[in-house]
Amino acid sequence: MNAPFDATAALGRKALAHPAPDHQVAVIGLGYIGLPTAAVLASYGWSVCGVDVSQKVVDTVNAGGVHIEERDLDKLVHDAITAQTLVASTEVPTASFYMIAVPTPLGPDNAPDISYVEAAARAIAPRILPGACVIVESTSPVGTTERVAAIIAEARPDLVVPSDGCDEEADIALAYCPERVLPGRIVNELVHNDRVIGGVTPACAERAAVLYTSFVKGDCLTTTARVAETVKLVENSFRDVNIAFANELSMIADVIGVDVWEVIRLANRHPRVNILQPGPGVGGHCIAVDPWFLVAGAPAAARLVRTAREVNDHKAVHTESKIRALLDAAPQGKVALLGLAFKPDIDDFRESPALEIAEALSHTHGNRILVVEPFTDELPPAFGGSGASLVTLDAALRQAEIVVVLVDHTAFKHLSPADLAGKLVFDTRGMLRR
């Protein structure tokens, strides 16, 4: 019997009263999705082994710590490790459920790279026993779950592995269940969001649903693996397209000479209009990446999705050139660049347009660049030798003639007109208008 777990109030608790011996879950990949999922599962009575290739990550988690910043995660992991419901390892154990939550980056020419998912499948294959269920959570191109099935089938000819249209009784189950949590609200959304569970066969979906219905308070909707894979890509492409519309509007507004924030605020008073917010471009490991998986699956058909990606990528280039023009307008002045993260109040710099813009400027304008980022203690290595410096907001305001808001962190929101008096100001997020 697992020790009682003091879950956070926000999480709510639905612990299994009598966890059976087979209540073992192996979560492969202890990143932004895997670690919170492993800790939540542990808090709901599962016996969880989190697996990661990084010994450092494994040691940190086993010591009750976390290597990523995410609200409520530190307590959840600490309590699960203390209760011995969560353990971390570099080795894949034998388990009743395997959840794959490894990265799926973009390769050359924006082609999906599923090599980490394939490696996870190869690591699971020797361990898997009849009755087990393998679930892919990593955002993946359509067909990836079938690829995992093929890898396991090749490694384990002794097992009947389910395949599309297979009517033979399979020995194991295989499903795809995309994560859909928002960084910054992961622990809460893991429990409260609806989930789409796609089985390679209907029986596979039902088996995977056993895991999710044990901790998800939202609805668990079953479908096929291919549909579930597509749903994930469609969700993030929908958001990318909508952000691209806002970003394109901001560039149109520059040409026309109107205030984009006022245009959007007033247009959104129409009952059926809801325009998102422009920014310096789109970042993160999801929205800036996943639409390319959809494009890769249907290149000729996915014209709008591709164009949205191009518009959002171009917005970062456009933003950088506007900052360069300000630097030219104040040739001796320093610029304070506020924020490096890909969105407010997180420490995640992956695919961040703010980071890319700041890095590029640091290599041409060196010691004129003052970076303010409360979520880091040092500038990332790519700034090395550039002469740019990481300073506090107060120090930046004292020294800079130009202030650029790249990220609307809460720590910047108290900026007043008096703080910015006499400076050239470029607010890429409309933060100062809110």
State the residues that interact with ligand SAJ by CB under 6 A: 139, 179-183, 235-236, 239, 243, 276-277, 279, 282-284, 286-287, 342-343
Sign of CA dihedral 64, 65, 66, 71: positive
Closer residue to ligand SAJ in complex, CB, 401/408: 408
Name beta bridge partners: 306: none
Shortest distance (Å) from residue 242 CB to ligand SAJ: 8
Closer residue to ligand SAJ in complex, CB, 181/405: 181
Q: Which of 400, 403, 320, 318 is nearest to 356 (CA)?
A: 320
Closer residue to ligand SAJ in complex, CB, 262/394: 262
Closer residue to ligand SAJ in complex, CB, 49/186: 186
- Measured in Å, how far apart are the chain's first and last C-alpha atoms? 51
Max Cα-Cα span within the chain? 75
Amino acid found at 278: P
Closer residue to ligand SAJ in complex, CB, 51/243: 243
Shortest distance (Å) from residue 158 CB to ligand SAJ: 36
CA–CA distance, 427 with 434 (Å, rounded to integer): 11
Q: Which of 311, 306, 337, 314 is nearest to 324 (CA)?
A: 337
Shortest distance (Å) from residue 343 CB to ligand SAJ: 4
- Name the phi and psi angles at 229, rounded to 5: -60, -40
- Within 156-224, where are the H helices? 186-192, 202-213
**Rounded to whole angstroms, what are the CA distances from 89 to 29, 125, 135?**
10, 17, 19
Cα radius of gyration rounded to whole Å, the chain = 24
Do 176 and 229 touch, CB atoms closer than 8 A? Answer: yes
Shortest distance (Å) from residue 110 CB to ligand SAJ: 16
Of 49, 286, 315, 343, the active-site residue reads 286
CA–CA distance, 356 with 320 (Å, rounded to integer): 9
Which DSSP category does 295 fall into? H
Does residue 232 have an active-site annotation? yes
- The SS3 call for residue 150 is helix
Closer residue to ligand SAJ in complex, CB, 207/409: 409
Shortest distance (Å) from residue 128 CB to ligand SAJ: 27
Shortest distance (Å) from residue 103 CB to ligand SAJ: 11
Closer residue to ligand SAJ in complex, CB, 31/45: 31
Shortest distance (Å) from residue 177 CB to ligand SAJ: 12
CA–CA distance, 3 with 147 (Å, rounded to integer): 38
Q: Which of 221, 210, 183 is nearest to 36 (CA)?
A: 183
Does residue 286 have an active-site annotation? yes
- The SS3 call for residue 266 is helix
Of 204, 220, 232, 315, the active-site residue reads 232
Which DSSP category does 98 fall into? E
The catalytic residue positions are 232, 286
